[in-house]
Structure 1
Amino acid sequence: MAALQQSPVAFHPKSPPAARIRAKSLYQIPLRSSFSGNIRHLRLAGKSGLKLRPARHGGAAGSKMMDSASSSYASALADVAKSNGTLDATSADLEKVEKIFSEPQIFDFFVNPIIAVEKKREVIDDIASSSKLQPHVANFLNILIDMRRIDLINEIVKEFEIFYNKMTDTEMAVVSSVVKLDSQHLAQIAQGVQKLTGAKNVRIKTVINPSLVAGFTIRYGSSGSKLIDMSVKKQLDEIATQLDFSDIVGSLAT
């Protein structure tokens, strides 16, 4: 089974072609700061500006609004990050959040309606402290808890990545390999993807996939629609097809 190898690395043509690895660190930060900015489909409410409320629509429009809730929340956060100049830092924070909430026990804790909101806020405080989340990101998580929409966090992270890439003219490429690739190889791949796409920046996510046998694959484009397959598995499949060894390969696989 494929497994995430590391956090995304970023390639910027004006800087040296080196991979940038974002690591966790332990710091204490203040929480409950104001969350504001240009909010599309959302509006701020409450004296402290801490409440995000989806704009009300009726009938089919209301249903559509709920379906696009993840995109709306992600757009709101992206607007705030852009307005205060923290797009890169916010993207890095959400990578940490995504990893944390990928743990089933943590996700189940936050979506459990029986657990008190206050208790969930305490855990967010701990997460914010141990992961060095920016105040507006920690506050955003508390907003989702208050709105009982924390279950959307994984979808929101994916939607934020889309907004981030559009705002920064960044192409996302997913590189799958059998072993961990070094930063020099990742930088070369990033340069290649940049030439193919003409994007200003290229971000790479790496994935370990033992089934490739050797070599690597690169997925990029809208929703990973484009594929460059440099794996030994592809070569073996092509040889098996040409020599009609499919029955033998199938029997060995079972």
Structure 2
Amino acid sequence: MPSNLISSEIAEPYAQALMSLAQTHDLTETFGRDFRDLGQLLDDSPELQDFIANPVISDNDKKEILGRIMGDSNHYLMNFLMLLIDKRRIVFLRPIVEQYLALLRDLNNVVLAEVTSTRELNDEQRRNIEDRVKGMTGAQGVEIKTTIDPDIIGGVIIKVGSQVIDASLRGQLRRIGISLKV
């Protein structure tokens, strides 16, 4: 897997070029939806990541599989993905997807809130987190990415950029332990 620094240096110009193309053709949200789905698929399938990154697998096989996965996606996006394969940059697909989605959030004044909880959030909990994050950041919208971690015992941990709000039971117990040591 490529290093993060090299990945971001390569991913950023590709993501910016795709954003420019998307803006020109009023497709920013369409590409965003397709990339969110593709990103989720990559997260859920390490086998797909390995397949895409494998230099032994032919470009034609990669094009065929990506074509099947993307189905009836916009032809500009499909051409972009095929270009990544031709230029041997498909190994950077995940960072390009992440960078594009970050550019889209900036464009729409939306922030990403990474939420860790012990179980799936219900609609009311999502709304409460969105309201709190909007209040903290002044953003127009909030995109929530959830992670389930039973080790936090209860509550949630919310990360927005470099800010972390630890409202987990594990965090509270740790803070109590630290205060008792003083």
**TM-score calculated relative to the size of structure 2:** 0.87
Note if contact 2:7-2:92 (Cα within 8 Å) is conserved in structure 1: no
Instruction: Answer 1 or 2: higher relative contact order, Cα 8 Å, separation at least 6.
Output: 1
**Match for residue 155 of structure 2 among 203, 212, 215:** 215
Cα deviations by residue, 1:191-246 (Å, 9 ceiling, x for unpaired): 111111111222111111111100001111xxx200111110111112222334xx
Alignment of 1:61-80 (within 5 A): 68-80=9-21
Matches of 1:194 and 1:66, distance apart in 2: 30
Residue 118 in structure 1 maps to residue 55 in structure 2: no
The aligned counterpart of 1:206 is 146
The aligned counterpart of 1:100 is 41
Amino acid of the structure 2 residue aligned with 1:83: T
The answer for unaligned runs of 5 or more in structure 1 is 1-63, 245-254
**Match for residue 103 of structure 2 among 163, 176, 183:** 163
The aligned counterpart of 1:241 is 178
Q: Secondary structure at the match of 1:190?
A: helix
Instruction: Flag the 1:233–1:75 CA change in 2: closer, same or farther, 3 A.
Output: same
The count of residues paired between Structure 1 and Structure 2 equals 176
**TM-score calculated relative to the size of structure 1:** 0.64
Amino acid of the structure 2 residue aligned with 1:106: L
Matches of 1:170 and 1:67, distance apart in 2: 21
Q: What is the deviation of 1:72?
A: 0.4
Matches of 1:66 and 1:233, distance apart in 2: 34
Q: What is the deviation of 1:65?
A: 9.8
Note if contact 2:8-2:95 (Cα within 8 Å) is conserved in structure 1: no
Moved more, 68-77 or 200-209: 200-209
Instruction: Flag the 1:112–1:65 CA change in 2: closer, same or farther, 3 A.
Output: closer
Amino acid of the structure 1 residue aligned with 2:96: I
The aligned counterpart of 1:81 is 22
Identity across matched positions, percent:
30
Matches of 1:88 and 1:126, distance apart in 2: 21
Runs of 4+ in 1 over 3 A off after TM superposition: 64-67
Matches of 2:145 and 2:52, distance apart in 1: 27
Matches of 1:65 and 1:216, distance apart in 2: 33
**Superposed CA RMSD:** 2.1
The aligned counterpart of 1:143 is 83
Give the structure with the higher percent helix.
2
The answer for unaligned runs of 5 or more in structure 2 is none
Instruction: Flag the 1:124–1:67 CA change in 2: closer, same or farther, 3 A.
Output: closer
